[in-house]
Structure 1
């Protein structure tokens, strides 16, 4: 329990119930109802210290709000949670009265809701009824922090009244897409500054559009190999295949899916996995005295050889050296989707006897929407809001359509 934060009130009092919740949250014993069963049969891994800190910060903020507004958390209902969320959105409850982002308001309200539901389950407070609505396959709202997927794989209802969010707003603020050559130069910078292993992990996201959590949870063991063997990849190449398929097991929402990976990049990953990765595992064992992890992407940084590359590390690499403002693994995922669209639309336009620049915007919108539906399996989900954002970016990026046609080749050229 040493990594679990401890909360105290504004008068220095020990917040017994909140701290009990954090301890149970850390050990995943905070829920007893069937809706929160694990999708895996083996023992779960508890949340990371950073996640627990977010919970503690969120609860601290909620208790302060209750104190300032004269609310007793043991008697309030769900409508009060919506009031709390709206005050954060409007800036009535924030530092310097500045409106908070919908993502921040939702996350804090989610934490408060989960705590109150837990307290009611433990008979610490009166019953707490949360209004929910069904989650559609295209729903763009995020799961509450740390929420576990249902065992059945069904789409979990979402908390009603959550603020509308946009996962593509940072990309939209940049107005234009970086060209494939700019992305390629950025990857070269990553390789030079952070090493070959992190370059491979970053490029994997840009080549497939997977989430960072899905990339770092790829595994490579003698018993479980997600990337095909060298012989299998070479056999696919002889047959004229342009991509290999990989089964993603750890995904957002707990729903496994199969994705396509360009064959030439799959070959580069396989060669690294068969040559340099075993060396990294050996160095990790010699340095720590323990068996190294099974994660596919292992660090090659001095003194950290063989350590699994984490989400925080990937985020740092994207943000600190990215070619556009607020670059992140999630933005890299969007860029992959946009260039997939550009490439697909340009190829179809050529079949029609023209090029993408000569096509009517309505044709681009109609055909782009169709190609985005093809992307759903690769990306895992696609909301209507994301669809329109991509199409808006595509309409403004026609000028780079010629280079985008060979997106994967541009990423690998001269690397």
Structure 2
């Protein structure tokens, strides 16, 4: 050997820049934007420029650069755009195609899309999901549109068609209205997701195993209960501050004080780690997004309050370990603003770590924090349907499925009202497609008993007291 190391060719790749270094160098506005390098390797100028224009709102597929997009994509979206475009660029290079000028119908659809659907262009050799295929083709098409608007290629011709769908609306008496949208032809049809959940006993046993983990079980168990009973996202849980729930119980805003205590709810405002527009990244590394109001059961709020006055204080000892100066110790404690801290290290949890907590124990198949949000929504929906028992009883008299049957239409309107006015504000993002998924679940799962984690906790408490 001549002593030289032959570097493997990884093709196109996305590079996430060091924000701190770029900001200090005076490039703070673009410090968070992914960069694409080609297989030479070298800086891929036009694709990277496209990502910068998308990130800054200088160009988007709706306004085409005519006006500034007031809500540019979030950091997470920009990373996804970078990886999707990188995939399309690499495919084009391997196939000897110029992506920027490739024909939509004969190349992007008939070749790139088709190879992904057949598993030819797939790291595992398996067909890719429709959502993945559509996203990659779409970003490749947007890159072409941007290039056209910037004068790098001829105008792009995109065949489209018109479609109608039912969207939630506060203006309609039925809480929804029909809207018409223009979509591009050639998109892969996404099959309606059939929403199914593990059996109650399976979820209970999974939850018990999390609580049983030595040293961390109480903290991890409370975290999964937090998701299951409020439907917050794992990133929102990771960003939950120690004072998101007011420190004094006397400051808690109970929205239904006339109800029995076990039914009372507290209204809270959250904005850290929320989905949607990114306003900025705060000094603790959290995304500050759209503010939303969520409801937390009073019994869960009491458990959170007990945690921060007991287990969390013990975890904080790791933060001040070895620090003798009282002022420095207090400063370290003040910088630990997040509620949930690892009992073994005193460090905050990330969204990825919360996913690992959820999935690392032997749990039900396909059970995830995101599905936990759907589980909450369906359990809440079923509970509200108990108030319409007469209507659900009559549904059993229908001998065949008929979407225009008066009873089905009445149930659909009732469900959409509950979703629009009660479930959607808690989830803070429910599409018309999700509405249909919940409606289908209700038809499939009528008569399923409601079981929330508080009941399981009470059962465990009784067992422990007996021992």
TM over 0.5: yes
- Can you give the 5+ residue segments of structure 2 that lack an aligned partner in the other structure? 1-16, 20-33, 60-64, 169-180, 278-289, 399-406, 462-467
CA distance in 2, matches of 1:294, 1:198: 18
Aligned residue among 58, 78, 81 for 2:84: 58
Shift of 1:328: 0.9
Shift of 1:409: 3.4
- Provide the aligned length of Structure 1 versus Structure 2: 370
Give me the CA root mean square deviation.
4.4
Query: For each residue in 1:326-349, what CA deviation from the matched residue of structure 2 results, as whole angstroms up to 9, or x when unmatched?
Result: 111111111111211222223442
> Is contact 1:7–1:18 with CA below 8 Å preserved after alignment?
no
Please state if 1:311 is matched with 2:351: yes
Query: For each residue in 1:214-250, what CA deviation from the matched residue of structure 2 results, as whole angstroms up to 9, or x when unmatched?
Result: 33333235xxx35573223497797546111122324
3-state SS, counterpart of residue 269 of structure 1: helix
Please state if 1:109 is matched with 2:154: no
CA distance in 2, matches of 1:134, 1:220: 46
Distance 1:35 1:272, change over 3 A: farther
Shift of 1:296: 3.0
Please state if 1:297 is matched with 2:344: no
Computing the radius of gyration over CA atoms, which structure comes out larger, 1 or 2?
2
> Is contact 2:57–2:69 with CA below 8 Å preserved after alignment?
no
> Is contact 2:113–2:133 with CA below 8 Å preserved after alignment?
yes
| 2:211 aligned residue | 191
**Where is the helix percentage greater, Structure 1 or Structure 2?**
1
CA distance in 1, matches of 2:157, 2:351: 31
Distance 1:96 1:296, change over 3 A: closer
CA distance in 2, matches of 1:189, 1:22: 47
Please state if 1:125 is matched with 2:161: no
- Can you give the 5+ residue segments of structure 1 that lack an aligned partner in the other structure? 140-156
Please state if 1:206 is matched with 2:228: yes
**Where is the strand percentage greater, Structure 1 or Structure 2?**
2
Please state if 1:7 is matched with 2:37: yes
Shift of 1:379: 1.7
Query: For each residue in 1:173-204, what CA deviation from the matched residue of structure 2 results, as whole angstroms up to 9, or x when unmatched?
Result: xxxx3344442332222222253333222211
Distance 1:129 1:252, change over 3 A: farther
Distance 1:313 1:356, change over 3 A: farther
Distance 1:397 1:235, change over 3 A: closer
3-state SS, counterpart of residue 296 of structure 1: coil
CA distance in 2, matches of 1:235, 1:368: 26
Within a 5 Å distance, the mapping from 1:10-159 to structure 2 comes to 12-17=40-45, 20-21=48-49, 24=52, 31=58, 35-37=68-70, 52=79, 57-76=83-102, 81-83=108-110, 84-91=112-119, 93-94=121-122, 98-113=126-141, 115-116=143-144, 123=150, 125-126=152-153, 138=167
> Is contact 1:208–1:378 with CA below 8 Å preserved after alignment?
yes
Shift of 1:265: 0.6
Within a 5 Å distance, the mapping from 1:254-333 to structure 2 comes to 254=277, 255-281=290-316, 283-284=318-319, 286=321, 292-300=335-343, 302-303=344-345, 305-307=346-348, 309-321=349-361, 323-333=363-373
Aligned residue among 409, 428, 431 for 1:383: 431
| 2:175 aligned residue | none
| 2:284 aligned residue | none
